[in-house]
Amino acid sequence: MSKKVVTFGEIMLRLSTPGYQRFVQAERFDVTYGGGEANVAVALCNYGLQGTFVTKVPNNPIGQAAINHLRRYGVDTQYIARGGERLGIYFLETGASMRASQVIYDRAHAAIAEAGPEDFDFDRILDGAVWFHTTGITPALSDKAAALTEQALKTARAKGITTSIDLNYRKKLWSKEKAREVMTRLCQYVDVCIGNEEDAEATLGFKAKGTDVTKGELNLEGYQDVFRQMREKFGFKYIATSLRESYSASDNGWSALVYDGNEFYHTRKYEVRIVDRVGSGDSFASGFIYGLITGMDMRQAAEFGVAASALKHTIPGDMNHATLEEVLQLMKGDASGRVQR
Amino acid sequence: MSKKVVTFGEIMLRLSTPGYQRFVQAERFDVTYGGGEANVAVALCNYGLQGTFVTKVPNNPIGQAAINHLRRYGVDTQYIARGGERLGIYFLETGASMRASQVIYDRAHAAIAEAGPEDFDFDRILDGAVWFHTTGITPALSDKAAALTEQALKTARAKGITTSIDLNYRKKLWSKEKAREVMTRLCQYVDVCIGNEEDAEATLGFKAKGTDVTKGELNLEGYQDVFRQMREKFGFKYIATSLRESYSASDNGWSALVYDGNEFYHTRKYEVRIVDRVGSGDSFASGFIYGLITGMDMRQAAEFGVAASALKHTIPGDMNHATLEEVLQLMKGDASGRVQR
Amino acid sequence: MSKKVVTFGEIMLRLSTPGYQRFVQAERFDVTYGGGEANVAVALCNYGLQGTFVTKVPNNPIGQAAINHLRRYGVDTQYIARGGERLGIYFLETGASMRASQVIYDRAHAAIAEAGPEDFDFDRILDGAVWFHTTGITPALSDKAAALTEQALKTARAKGITTSIDLNYRKKLWSKEKAREVMTRLCQYVDVCIGNEEDAEATLGFKAKGTDVTKGELNLEGYQDVFRQMREKFGFKYIATSLRESYSASDNGWSALVYDGNEFYHTRKYEVRIVDRVGSGDSFASGFIYGLITGMDMRQAAEFGVAASALKHTIPGDMNHATLEEVLQLMKGDASGRVQR
Amino acid sequence: MSKKVVTFGEIMLRLSTPGYQRFVQAERFDVTYGGGEANVAVALCNYGLQGTFVTKVPNNPIGQAAINHLRRYGVDTQYIARGGERLGIYFLETGASMRASQVIYDRAHAAIAEAGPEDFDFDRILDGAVWFHTTGITPALSDKAAALTEQALKTARAKGITTSIDLNYRKKLWSKEKAREVMTRLCQYVDVCIGNEEDAEATLGFKAKGTDVTKGELNLEGYQDVFRQMREKFGFKYIATSLRESYSASDNGWSALVYDGNEFYHTRKYEVRIVDRVGSGDSFASGFIYGLITGMDMRQAAEFGVAASALKHTIPGDMNHATLEEVLQLMKGDASGRVQR
Amino acid sequence: MSKKVVTFGEIMLRLSTPGYQRFVQAERFDVTYGGGEANVAVALCNYGLQGTFVTKVPNNPIGQAAINHLRRYGVDTQYIARGGERLGIYFLETGASMRASQVIYDRAHAAIAEAGPEDFDFDRILDGAVWFHTTGITPALSDKAAALTEQALKTARAKGITTSIDLNYRKKLWSKEKAREVMTRLCQYVDVCIGNEEDAEATLGFKAKGTDVTKGELNLEGYQDVFRQMREKFGFKYIATSLRESYSASDNGWSALVYDGNEFYHTRKYEVRIVDRVGSGDSFASGFIYGLITGMDMRQAAEFGVAASALKHTIPGDMNHATLEEVLQLMKGDASGRVQR
Amino acid sequence: MSKKVVTFGEIMLRLSTPGYQRFVQAERFDVTYGGGEANVAVALCNYGLQGTFVTKVPNNPIGQAAINHLRRYGVDTQYIARGGERLGIYFLETGASMRASQVIYDRAHAAIAEAGPEDFDFDRILDGAVWFHTTGITPALSDKAAALTEQALKTARAKGITTSIDLNYRKKLWSKEKAREVMTRLCQYVDVCIGNEEDAEATLGFKAKGTDVTKGELNLEGYQDVFRQMREKFGFKYIATSLRESYSASDNGWSALVYDGNEFYHTRKYEVRIVDRVGSGDSFASGFIYGLITGMDMRQAAEFGVAASALKHTIPGDMNHATLEEVLQLMKGDASGRVQR
């Protein structure tokens, strides 16, 4: 029986221009579905756990297609509520070289943003789970969504389920002030905190000195300082972040830093040629979580997470379809990319 | 110098599944843009008039792409306001045989639904125009949109510009009660009233006895009765409707009935093999309007409109890309479909 | 809790040429998955039952993709065995007018054909099920597959589960002699027997006088005679067949004949414009089964089945993605194909 | 050893809009290659003869791709000259219902139009051939092309090779006056004359009374009268024409009339649902020629030709990819379009 | 009111193979439209000026589609003449690594090459314009086109409009001797001269010592020497060139050198990962022109031009769809390619 | 008259996911055909020799399409036998960065694996040939295929035709033990032996010390040692290997080492950005063979081979569509990738 992991958040319809077309050129969109917590659920299913995703989608074929996409990859969708006005959408244009990828969100009024406590019985949903995961995007969707997130985290904590959050600040959804107020409240129920580079500052107010995210340089000392502060304030068991060095929209350096209150560990760094970098943070989170659930030590879990997410950069769509074997193989050091026959 | 015709309403992003795929099967969407009044503007440009479309679109590349789509076909877009939250979307699945085409609207909170009087200076916009056209969809979008529609119609009337409205009832946008209240108010400024089969009843309360729209039978006597009532109440100069006989989603009979308070005229009926029937009502309206603007008598204008819209059924997308020559040729009777070399 | 229905058979990779291209023209294939019993499982899930599909697929990404396709549409895949050499493939070229669709099977050595009793614990698999369904294709795959089919039917019978079989003769898989020997043995465990036109003769030796399947004429008297013989010999509770009148590869007449030992009932006949007729027999079977499971009488169940399968003809792929509501709507008589907004 | 048939003419790059898109909508073109005489060569190869196509194409990859297309389907391309400015192009938009398909030719200055006697050694090319075929398009390309055509026909006649011509008038290439002058000269070397409906009048001045090609009605008496005149003047061994009844761009009636100076024979008529009707005349010609070469009598040859070309209407592209078996099967009467498994 | 810029030249139908397919592999072509001066007009519209493009296209749907493509991106097309034989075509195959992109021109006999003085009233066309731009391709098309170019330049000079030319030598269109004769005559009316690497020598006879364009090394001293000679002979106000270092078909270095008779300025150099490099020279020219029109100094204008054209390399098609904001952002130094949300 | 080269082996249907999609994401496959010896035949045709490919394919349209693919590129297919069960298939997923390309073979029971001596008359097939080539894949298919390979090599040797083999070990087809037994027997008839890196050890037991193929480092000394042993044992006239340095799935170093018993020669090394690396070994073999046939010395032939195969990496599909001119141009040193107009 696979271990059950519950994630809670939004799944969106993703509409992306083919190839490197700009929005104004597109006559068709490639269609897929994604969202931070959904991406984590899928990746965990790929590795053999029972990902369970909780959200609300409209009661129409577009909502059904989102559910179908999750089911296709093995996610347990039985707790997804149906109703509301619409499924959130995001439009994606893939960049190259010095032209950045561009995302246009059209997620206001999504069913999940307007869901309420009547839609989810978290006590039942979390029954038998070993882990609960969400991100800073979900509470940013609406006050109701923030309340639901808090309820889910509280329930998990009460049931002795490990909890994790990916800070993921989205400036178009809420202000830093609002984010800090809510996220500070939520983080008291969190065991494992994952934060992309600029998120720790925006959502929790901790400042990593000297990291200019447009430059692509790492400032490990600054990170360590921030992690220490976060640990001190919230008592997180693990703090982790992926570290991106953005040489260009086509090539990035990719590694991770983790901290357990004791040791800082900086993983191997991968040089990635990017196919699709959307969801790479989620693929790190899911890999790190997988490692911890299956008994890896922090270093191994971090290496698993960063190898998994390096592979994600080469896969179209939001979700990581790298297999367990592929991640383990890459962790062992084979990045030669020789044909597998 | 081409004659200027102004139309006012919404343009939406249209996302359709390729071939006859159902929504739950689709991995890509064909992308185009459309909306009742925009479709009329494009068709009029095709025939040589200066279609001018007025709406509001968001200030992002999706909004820009909608404008670009209009410009591509010659529409004057200079009066389109920029701003607001999002562009309305509709999803389309093309039916066949006994499976109906399905439309899912995701148009709430569109920029045009939330536009206000500060966005449009109708006095300037309508300057020099010979015709103003809108539909019953626009006032259904929101109270603000209804107020703008009324303002546009009033201004047109004040400037002596001929006005037309296509009743187009959309039950997901408003109730019959609300529709009747608003549309009755608007119709006092209208010269030419165009109504698809079920719209007259829903929006104005006139009932065509004995027409079951799911049967595909025509009840011309019922229509005539309704037209007489409409004429009596609103004094429309012309009342027109396309008449669809829905044998199946693949094959329809298509004709039109027009009335000038004096004569009822039922056009030639076309048997159409359907490629894409979305926008066929708009293509009839634009054809009929074109005929009247260019001095055809009612019968000719109706024949032009119905020939134009028969052709529309064979063209993918919302908009009619039949040329003036092709419509005139079909009016003359050549429906043989022989290759043009 | 949805009622559990188990189906057992093969799922194949389906590779079809786009549009109406011939095989020798194709530079790409559209990819989907299908097979008689899998198609039934999917359709039943669409209607709200818990379809459960049992097969064996190779332990590689192509096998995984077949499972994913089933999961996408809600099928319980937990009993699918993994291993063996390959997934069966069929190539499809869609015909039009007088050019017939062409299917090339490449299914020899498929995992399911070489599966054995160690792969399936039918006692556990059938636990809690209300219905078991298979087809005459499964026992035709190999002697081992025939033995598994018999074991499944026997187990179902022993557990008091209603059983059905779709005769489905495939001349490339076995001879009539072999078919008759095996199918006669299997039919003793069958409650509901479904037979396409030429199958009853090939697999059971019952002859419908006067039906030339290349002509498209129905011979209801002949069918009735055959059904009576079948009932007499096997004691089937219901015997059913869809009835195709092949006017051309583009247009067919479609109805069904059912018999309960008492009454013959010939359903409404649909004139279908064909998009994809592969799997239409399965869609009739699944509709008829759905009706019987949910308490419809024989006439209603047959009308449900034939309406469901009429809709299937308009949907690309092997599987029927018509919804319960759409089938019920069509049963009520609305075949007008008017746009659903 | 297959019998060698030589055809001489132009092969063009064909650029067609996908689906039913109009030219002004297209963002991609489907690419294939075709031309009357090339189409005949391919069809004959499909039936097992050695089609040999003679033309001139530019010495660039586009010219090479045209040659490759012919080689793919088995045509002997060794006598194709290389050089000149460009490959002729034609653009195709596929019509439906009352909207006709549209062809835009961009063939001026093509290599074959500017080829000269130095490019082809017809004495060597025709060595061992049993049949030579060309069309009225080739001499219309240019005076040089007309001279080459005459030389080819003369050489064939001198070598005792049966010759055929498809009259094929193209009004954009030459006037009726010019056509009549040239074609009258060429026809003295012709054994088998094939003429689509309007071609006989345009190129040879024979008038079929009462046939309005836009109506879709046949006037067999008129045809018989014309055929008698043609026979009288040129002594053709066989005169043949396909007969199209254009109900619409989607549906046609299709049959053929042949004459051997003795008997008029009107073939079975097929009702065709059209996928792509370009090249259907060539598919009739190639079928009729195939029949005569392989010893069928005139009636059989005509039935073979008309069955072959009925099938062509269902196949995308210029060329007929129906197999010998399929044509023979259809001749025997099976037009039911049942799936071939 | 946007400033009006007029450009004059050819627009061609561009047919490119998808992905990295070679011509002999292609079964479809991606369709777009482009040409040096048209590309400049579109880019200027993107930045907010009123690009106005002058050419002649055939009076058929292919010509119309070219116009529509320009209108889509905001170009004023009112002065485009209609008529002539055909639209020029170019075929494009995109290279990678050591395989160069390949262009096959099929532009002879294009409408613009055969246009005459009756087609354009440059006095009216240039009315109100602030800038006139053309390239060395236009006069190379034909003697008539050269005469038209001279007339346009003369008219612009007479009206006090700033003029620019991009030398753009095309060896398949004319000899160096012919080019030098004509371009020397035209350059007397030119204010701003833009020359890609090998063009200055071919069209004007100025030789940049030591630049081997197949090597990818820059020889700035050589360029400066040539620029001094050009300035001396023609008195150009500005001379500019983009500088390409061709490491491979996939990766280039990209910068620019400008000269105002006083100072030589070499811009920042971008390392570009190439998506589509066709039109990159035009994107530099349009950026540089934009800068000068809007009051940037020479250095800023050059940096704007080179940033704009660096971005162009990442965009499919001939035309630069980078926005003003994106170019300015890149000029400021952010080439990190981080996702824009 | 072109020189005739015969190659013998398998051609497979290749089904590849578009873009960088993983198998579990794919909804369509790109279709082409390939196989080691077929790829060599096509490349030799491209260079002007008469490639002649010998295999067996099933007598159905998929088998025909494989033949057509070869004919398209000029291969003589007259000796291909028809019959057997199926065409072998391989599925391909293209990797990027650290994610390797993945190949799934589904080639068991292919027609060629079950062909017998009755299918091929090698004495006639090899008549007039100057070279015979095969690979270590063919004898690995089955014992019957190994016997046929031996017969072909023996016949070639007897007729004085130069023979070559590419060792190509496929671990899924046979064990090292079996491979060594068979290949040792076959190599006695071989003049030119080509071995990719790991093949010499697997198939012949010669061990290159210190080459870890997952690392991407070359060990030229080890190779030289192996080549000396191979020469000593089998007396090969030439031994050659391409040398791949796998930096990642996107970027490789590519060169070759050749040996004539006297001199070792290591070619120029290319840094390749990979589009499709399948078939690159075959493109080296065919280039090297072409060089030797046309009288190049060993160094030139090796440089030709490595330049040809560097280009192959940039071309989609198994086959090398680089032209003779392009290879010669690259050999001369121009790897700048500048646009060819």
Burial class, E176, CB count within 10 angstroms (exposed 0-12 / middle 13-18 / buried 19+): middle
What's the pLDDT score for residue E213? Answer: 53
Q: How many CB atoms lie within 10 A of CB E324?
A: 14
Alpha-carbon span B27 to C32, nearest angstrom:
12
Alpha-carbon span B225 to F34, nearest angstrom:
71
CB–CB of C270/C308 below 8 Å?
no
What's the pLDDT score for residue F196? Answer: 73
Domains of chain C and any CATH numbers: 4-331 (3.40.1190.20)
Burial class, A263, CB count within 10 angstroms (exposed 0-12 / middle 13-18 / buried 19+): exposed
Alpha-carbon span E93 to E20, nearest angstrom:
7
pLDDT tens digit sequence for A310-330: 999 999 999 999 999 999 999
* Amino acid residing at E312: K
What's the pLDDT score for residue D219? Answer: 82
B71: chain E residues, CB-CB within 8 Å: 71-74
Task: Kindly report the nearest CA distance between residue F100 and chain A, in angstroms.
Answer: 4
What's the pLDDT score for residue A198? Answer: 83
* Maximum pairwise Cα distance, chain D: 53
Alpha-carbon span E312 to B3, nearest angstrom:
39
How many beta-carbon pairs below 8 A join chains A and E? 88
Distance between first and last Cα of chain C:
32
E250: chain F residues, CB-CB within 8 Å: 273, 337
* Maximum pairwise Cα distance, chain A: 53
CB–CB of A44/A286 below 8 Å?
yes
pLDDT tens digit sequence for D98-110: 999 999 999 999 9
Buried b or exposed e, range D251-262, using 16+ CB within 10 angstroms: bbbbbbbbbbee
Sorting pLDDT into bands at 50, 70 and 90, what band is F280?
A: very high
Of A270, A317, A339, the CB nearest to F100: A339
Structural tokens at position C138: 């499964």
Residue in C311, C242, C306, C304 with CA at minimum distance from that of residue C274: C311
Of B21, B97, B278, the CB nearest to C272: B97
What angle is formed at CA F21 by the lines to CA F17 and CA F24, rounded to 5 degrees? Answer: 85
Task: Kindly report the nearest CA distance between residue A72 and chain C, in angstroms.
Answer: 4
Cα F332 off chain centre by: 24
Decide: helix, strand or coil at residue E216: coil
Give how far Cα F339 sits from Cα of E104, E249, E280, F46, F317, Å: 11, 8, 12, 22, 22
CB contact under 8 A, C99 and D315: yes
Alpha-carbon span D47 to D287, nearest angstrom:
9
CB–CB of E261/E283 below 8 Å?
no
> ipTM, 2 decimals?
0.95
Of B316, B337, B341, the CB nearest to D246: B337
Alpha-carbon span A204 to A187, nearest angstrom:
9
F250: chain A residues, CB-CB within 8 Å: 273, 337
What residue ranges of chain A have pLDDT lower than 70?
A: 1, 197, 208-217
Q: Is the dihedral of CA A248, A253, A259, A262 positive or negative?
A: negative
Reading chain B (341 residues) residue by residue, the pLDDT tens digits are 699 999 999 999 999 999 999 999 999 999 999 999 999 999 999 999 999 999 999 999 999 999 999 999 999 999 999 999 999 999 999 999 999 999 999 999 999 999 999 999 999 999 999 999 999 999 999 999 999 999 999 999 999 999 999 999 999 999 999 999 999 999 999 999 999 768 989 999 988 666 555 555 678 888 999 999 999 999 999 999 999 999 999 999 999 999 999 999 999 999 999 999 999 999 999 999 999 999 999 999 999 999 999 999 999 999 999 999 999 999 998 878 888 88
A96: chain E residues, CB-CB within 8 Å: 273, 275, 314, 337
Give how far Cα B301 sits from Cα of B43, B221, B334, F217, Å: 14, 22, 18, 79
What's the pLDDT score for residue F211? Answer: 55
CB contact under 8 A, C214 and D334: yes
With an 8 Å Cβ cutoff, is D22 touching chain B? yes
Length of chain C: 341
Alpha-carbon span D68 to B100, nearest angstrom:
43
Alpha-carbon span A134 to A156, nearest angstrom:
11
**CA nearest to D77 within chain F:** F74
Chain position carrying tokens 């993605």:
C321
pLDDT tens digit sequence for F163-219: 999 999 999 999 999 999 999 999 999 999 999 768 889 999 988 666 555 555 678
Based on DSSP, count helices (H) and strands (E) in chain F, helices before strands.
11, 15
With an 8 Å Cβ cutoff, is F48 touching chain D? no
CB–CB of A194/A39 below 8 Å?
no
Alpha-carbon span B196 to B191, nearest angstrom:
17
How many beta-carbon pairs below 8 A join chains E and F? 88
Task: Using the predicted structure, report yes or no on whether residue F28 has a pLDDT greater than 70.
Answer: yes
Structural tokens at position B63: 């909004």
C60: chain F residues, CB-CB within 8 Å: 104
Where do the DSSP E strands lie in chain B?
Answer: 4-8, 12-16, 28-34, 50-54, 56-57, 81-82, 89-93, 102-106, 129-135, 162-166, 192-194, 238-246, 251-259, 264-266, 270-273
Alpha-carbon span A296 to E31, nearest angstrom:
53
Phi and psi torsions of F142, nearest 5°: -175, 165
Reading chain C (341 residues) residue by residue, the pLDDT tens digits are 699 999 999 999 999 999 999 999 999 999 999 999 999 999 999 999 999 999 999 999 999 999 999 999 999 999 999 999 999 999 999 999 999 999 999 999 999 999 999 999 999 999 999 999 999 999 999 999 999 999 999 999 999 999 999 999 999 999 999 999 999 999 999 999 999 768 889 999 988 666 555 555 678 888 999 999 999 999 999 999 999 999 999 999 999 999 999 999 999 999 999 999 999 999 999 999 999 999 999 999 999 999 999 999 999 999 999 999 999 999 998 878 888 87
Query: Which of A42, A46, A69, A273 is most worth mutating to test chain F (most F CB atoms within 10 A of its CB)?
Result: A273
What's the pLDDT score for residue D250? Answer: 96
pLDDT tens digit sequence for C118-140: 999 999 999 999 999 999 999 99
Sorted by sequence, the CB contacts under 8 Å of residue E181 that are 6+ apart come out as: none
Task: Using the predicted structure, report yes or no on whether residue E341 has a pLDDT greater than 90.
Answer: no
CB–CB of E254/E275 below 8 Å?
no
- Percent residues over pLDDT 90 in chain A: 90
* Amino acid residing at A100: A
CB contact under 8 A, D72 and F74: no
Identify the chains in contact with F, defined as 3+ C-beta pairs within 8 A. Answer: A, C, D, E
Q: Which of residues 144-173 of E touch F (CB under 8 A)?
A: 170-172
**CA nearest to E60 within chain B:** B323
CB–CB of F30/C28 below 8 Å?
yes
C74: chain A residues, CB-CB within 8 Å: 68, 71
Of B103, B247, B251, the CB nearest to C341: B103
* DSSP bridge partners of C253: C245, C271
Task: Kindly report the nearest CA distance between residue A25 and chain B, in angstroms.
Answer: 8
Q: Where are the alpha helices (DSSP H) in chain D?
A: 36-47, 61-72, 122-125, 137-141, 143-158, 176-187, 199, 220-234, 280-293, 298-312, 324-331
With an 8 Å Cβ cutoff, is D205 touching chain B? no
Alpha-carbon span A149 to A188, nearest angstrom:
12
**CA nearest to E16 within chain D:** D28
With an 8 Å Cβ cutoff, is F188 touching chain D? no
CB contact under 8 A, D20 and B317: no
3-state SS of E89-132 is EEEEECCECCECCEEEEECCCEHHHHCCHHHCCHHHHCCCEEEE
Burial class, A123, CB count within 10 angstroms (exposed 0-12 / middle 13-18 / buried 19+): exposed
pLDDT tens digit sequence for C193-236: 999 768 889 999 988 666 555 555 678 888 999 999 999 999 99
Task: Using the predicted structure, report yes or no on whether residue D289 has a pLDDT greater than 60.
Answer: yes
Q: Is the dihedral of CA B120, B122, B125, B130 positive or negative?
A: positive
**CA nearest to D60 within chain F:** F323
Structural tokens at position A139: 């509470």
With an 8 Å Cβ cutoff, is C114 touching chain F? no
Structural tokens at position F105: 């073979």
**CA nearest to E69 within chain A:** A25
* Maximum pairwise Cα distance, chain B: 53
Decide: helix, strand or coil at residue B54: strand
With an 8 Å Cβ cutoff, is E331 touching chain A? no
Based on DSSP, count helices (H) and strands (E) in chain A, helices before strands.
11, 15
Q: Is the dihedral of CA B279, B282, B288, B289 positive or negative?
A: negative
Phi and psi torsions of F51, nearest 5°: -65, 135
What angle is formed at CA E233 by the lines to CA E231 and CA E236, rounded to 5 degrees? Answer: 40
Q: Which of residues 122-141 of E touch D (CB under 8 A)?
A: none
CB–CB of B66/B11 below 8 Å?
yes
Task: Kindly report the nearest CA distance between residue A27 and chain F, in angstroms.
Answer: 18
What's the pLDDT score for residue C212? Answer: 57
* DSSP bridge partners of D54: D8
Question: What does the radius of gyration of chain B's CA atoms come to, in whole angstroms?
Answer: 19
Structural tokens at position A161: 């389920």
Sorting pLDDT into bands at 50, 70 and 90, what band is E211?
A: low
With an 8 Å Cβ cutoff, is A93 touching chain B? yes
Phi and psi torsions of B308, nearest 5°: -60, -45
Residue in D339, D336, D269, D337 with CA at minimum distance from that of residue C215: D336
- Crossing angle of helices E280-293 and E298-312, rounded to 10°: 150
With an 8 Å Cβ cutoff, is D108 touching chain E? yes
CB contact under 8 A, B73 and E68: yes
Structural tokens at position C240: 């059913």
* Amino acid residing at B324: L
Alpha-carbon span A121 to A112, nearest angstrom:
15
With an 8 Å Cβ cutoff, is C108 touching chain F? yes
pTM, 2 dp: 0.96
With an 8 Å Cβ cutoff, is F270 touching chain E? yes
Phi and psi torsions of E233, nearest 5°: -75, -40
What angle is formed at CA B199 by the lines to CA B193 and CA B200, rounded to 5 degrees? Answer: 60
